[in-house]
């Protein structure tokens, strides 16, 4: 999804009277509050919170700051005391959804697992694979999950997502979250996928003919153009890794989003070509960007900083990877070896 035009909802330009009237009409709140036949401030608070979240600023469409700002103004318009409204305005959106329904005890009946599988296929399989084998998202078919050390943590991740990653929050109800979590835990009891190839020979290909360390780091050694490969065997499936070797651009993000300081690769990945008014053109990976400047790391690892006013051209090659395809470099057996080596990288010291 492209970057949202925040001017569609200019919070500071919406008249408070118009916004409060709209919310009152929707919620049945009066400016006096707690009068006969009218809801209390607490009732208005809860209704305003829900209405703003689901109708004015839905998740994934309008930034959290916009949603919380509108909630703050709406509550003031409904007569909620400023201190209470400000409390809501400052509270993170993820905290506004009650987590009390989350239980550390997961059901394990066939009916629950079947329901969890159906929900998983509908909501999760695009990134994690239909059987949790991994893909764009990490592999879930393993006995322990690094970020979900217990069942309660797993349910909270399903509900609230993981900030700074591609894992979004969900609007599923607590019972649906439990059933998905129970199904995910059942995946860890399945046999680990066996891959063909020799990991030792794959390590040699990685270091020599593949020259992979030019761009990727492993155990603190290597380049910084591509993502760190430490623990890649836990995060990606064998099929995903093989495809990444043969078609490097296949899984490059195409979000057309601005650079964000609160996320890391792959969401921030963008190959750019900058042509300054003076000096040589530079091609590489975006390191940082704001309205007036951009920083680029070239394929040699050097970082270049430009003011955009100093550039005659700035090409943003969305969906392009500087990684060469290895389908013509390695035989099918050698690709098996290299994939086996990458799968073996599971974070052990």
Residue 203 sits in the same domain as residue 262? no
Q: Are residues 210 and 339 in the same domain?
A: yes
Position 257 scores a pLDDT of 60
Q: What percent of the chain has pLDDT over 90?
A: 38
How much is the average pLDDT of 84-103? 44
Q: Are 14 and 73 in contact (CB under 8 A)?
A: yes
328 and 238, same structural domain? yes
Q: Are residues 214 and 335 in the same domain?
A: yes
Domain end, chosen from 44, 63, 96, is at 96
For residue range 283-293, what is the model confidence (pLDDT) as tens digits? 999 988 999 99
Given this model, what pLDDT does residue 266 score? 59
Number of domains in the chain: 4
Higher pLDDT, residue 87 or 161: 161
In a domain, 348, yes or no: no
In three-state form (DSSP H/G/I as H, E/B as E, the rest C), the secondary structure along the chain is CCCCCHHHCCHHHCCHHHHHHHHHHHHCCCCCCCCCCCCCHHHHHHHHHHHHHHHHCCCCCCCHHHHHHHHHHHHHHCCCCHHHHHHHHHCCHHHHCCCCCCCCCCCCCHHHHHHHHHHHHHHCHHHHCCCCCCCCCCCCCCCCECCECCHHHHHHHHHHCCCCCCCCCCCCCHHHHHHHHHHHHHHCCCCCCCCCCCHHHHHHHHHCCCCHHHCCEECCEECCCCCCCCCHHHHCCHHHHHHHHHCHHHHCCCCCCCCCCCCCCCCCCCEEEEEECCCCCEEEEEEEECCCEEEEEECCCCEEEEEHHHEEEEEEECCCCCCCCCCCCCCHHHHHHHHHHHHCCCCCC
Q: For residue 20, is pLDDT > 80?
A: no
Higher pLDDT, 78 or 200: 200
If asked whether residues 266 and 246 sit together in one domain, one would say no
% of the chain residues with pLDDT over 70 = 65
Residue 192 domain flag: no
When pLDDT is averaged across residues 118-131 and rounded to a whole number, the result is 91
Averaged pLDDT, 317-331: 90
Q: Which of the four pLDDT bands, split at 50, 70 and 90, describes residue 340?
A: very high
Over the chain, what is the mean pLDDT? 75
Q: What average pLDDT score do residues 55-77 get?
A: 47
- Do residues 203 and 339 both lie within one domain? yes
Worst-scoring range by mean pLDDT, 35-39, 43-47, 255-259, 267-271? 35-39
Could you tell me if residue 323 is left (phi over 0), alpha (psi between -120 and 50 degrees) or otherwise beta? beta
Q: Over 60: is that where the pLDDT of 211 sits?
A: yes
CATH number, domain of 313, equals 2.30.30.100
64 located within any domain: yes
d(CA 313, CA 205): 38
260 vs 3, residue with greater confidence: 260
221: domain CATH number is 1.10.760.10
More confident residue, 143 or 278: 278
In-domain check, residue 1: no
Among 156, 187, 218, residue at a domain's last position:
187
> Are 224 and 260 contained in the same domain?
no
pLDDT at residue 38 is higher than 90: no
For residue 105, tell me if it sits in a domain: no
Whether residue 336 has pLDDT greater than 90: yes
13: confidence class by pLDDT, cuts 50, 70, 90: very low
Q: Is 193 within a domain? A: no
The answer on pLDDT for 108 being more than 60 is yes
Whether the CB-CB separation of 273 and 317 falls below 8 Å is answered with yes
Residues 211, 286 within the same domain: no
* Residue pointed to by tokens 């093989």: 242
Q: Are 82 and 162 part of one and the same domain? A: no
Q: How far apart are CA 324 and CA 247, in angstroms?
A: 8
- Residue 148 in any domain: the answer is yes
Cα 292 to Cα 309: distance, rounded to the nearest angstrom? 7
Between 181 and 225, whose confidence is greater? 181
Examine the domain organization and report whether 37 and 115 are in the same domain.
no
Q: What is the pLDDT of residues 234-278, one digit of tens each?
A: 888 888 899 999 998 877 766 556 655 555 555 678 899 999 999
At residue 17, the pLDDT reads 43
Last residue within a domain, chosen from 73, 96, 119: 96
Do residues 180 and 258 both lie within one domain? no
330 and 203, same domain (yes or no)? yes
Structural domain that includes position 47: 6-96
pLDDT for 331: 96
Question: Is 258 domain-assigned?
Answer: yes
- For residue 120, pLDDT beyond 90: yes
């Amino acid at each position: 999804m492209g970057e949202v035009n925040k001017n569609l909802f200019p919070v500071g330009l919406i008249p408070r009277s118009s916004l409060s009237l709209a919310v009152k009409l929707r919620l049945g709140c009066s400016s006096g509050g707690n009068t006969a036949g009218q809801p209390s401030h607490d009732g208005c608070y809860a209704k305003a919170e829900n209405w703003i979240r689901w109708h004015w600023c839905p998740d994934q469409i309008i930034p959290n700051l916009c949603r919380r700002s509108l909630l703050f103004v709406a509550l003031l318009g409904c007569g909620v005391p400023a201190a209470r409204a400000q409390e809501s305005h400052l509270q993170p959106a993820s905290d506004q959804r009650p987590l009390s329904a989350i239980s550390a005890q997961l059901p394990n009946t066939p009916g629950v697992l079947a329901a969890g599988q159906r929900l998983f296929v509908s909501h999760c399989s695009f990134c994690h694979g239909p059987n949790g084998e991994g893909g764009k998202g990490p592999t879930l078919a393993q006995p322990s999950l690094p970020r979900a050390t217990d069942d309660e943590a797993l349910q909270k991740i399903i509900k609230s997502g993981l900030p700074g990653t591609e894992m979004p929050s969900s609007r599923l109800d607590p019972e649906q979250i439990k059933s998905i979590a129970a199904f995910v835990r059942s995946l860890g009891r399945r046999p680990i996928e066996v891959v063909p190839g020799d990991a030792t020979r794959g390590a040699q290909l990685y270091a020599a003919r593949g020259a992979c360390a030019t761009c990727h780091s492993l155990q603190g050694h290597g380049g910084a153009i591509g993502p760190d490969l430490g623990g890649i065997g836990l995060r990606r499936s064998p099929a995903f890794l093989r495809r990444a070797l043969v078609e490097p651009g296949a899984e490059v993000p195409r979000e057309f989003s601005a650079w964000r300081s609160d996320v890391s690769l792959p969401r921030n990945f963008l190959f750019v070509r900058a042509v300054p008014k003076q000096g040589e053109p530079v091609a590489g990976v975006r390191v940082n960007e704001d309205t007036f400047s951009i920083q680029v790391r070239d394929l040699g690892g050097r970082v270049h900083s430009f003011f955009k006013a100093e550039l005659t051209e700035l090409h943003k090659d969305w969906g392009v990877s500087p990684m060469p395809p290895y389908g013509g470099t390695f035989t099918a057996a050698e690709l098996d070896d290299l994939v086996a080596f990458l799968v073996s990288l599971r974070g052990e010291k």
